[in-house]
Amino acid sequence: SDLSRLARHDALTGLYTRRVLDDVLVQEIKRSTRTKRGFGVAIADLDDFKRVNDKYSHDTGDKALVELSKVLRSCIRSTDTVGRWGGEEFLLILPETSCAGAKKVLERIRIAVEEINIFHEGTKVLLSITIGLSYRHGSYDRESMIDEADKALYAGKRAGKNRVVCYQEETAGCSQ
């Protein structure tokens, strides 16, 4: 029904909602714990989104989020999951991958976002994205992975935005 679709998909972007992402995360963590394969969780945040809304308009801001969601969908692998985490934040779930593999997908997204063409009264709206990644092997819980992805995201923001940062590389070194 339309109602259950609405509960599962964000109205603006058509991406999964936070509730669905939580379910997928639980499933993927179980699977990864079983298979012992590497697993990534990333939080992507549109840089200076408040400025886009204030300088241009909320319609332009919405358009940016819609275009971003198209980029996210087209850049991920069929086994990956993406959804709207809240506001201008998006969550990516990247199962069965190496740290380098996860970063390659995220870097592809970062570059594609710079190439989004949105215009406001003839002016190109420049967009960029910062992405924080938590990459783990074996057992872990969703709270700590989301927390690590969030910390990596903020490290990327502090370092100047428009970049992909892996929490494990920043702290202890990323195990391939």
Kind of pairing between the strands at 129-136 and 164-166:
parallel
Joined tokens for residue 176:
């391939």
Catalytic residue among 88, 89, 115, 169: 88
Cβ–Cβ < 8 Å for 138, 172: no
The crossing angle, in degrees rounded to 10, of helices 99-114 and 58-75 is: 140
| Residue-by-residue DSSP string for 18-75 | HHHHHHHHHHHHHHHHHH---EEEEEEEETTHHHHHHHT-HHHHHHHHHHHHHHHHHH
Catalytic annotation on 89?
Answer: no
What are the structure tokens assigned to 100, written together? Answer: 């380098």
How far apart (Å, rounded) are the C-alpha atoms in residues 40 and 93? 6
Largest pairwise CA distance in the chain: 53
* Catalytically annotated residues: 88
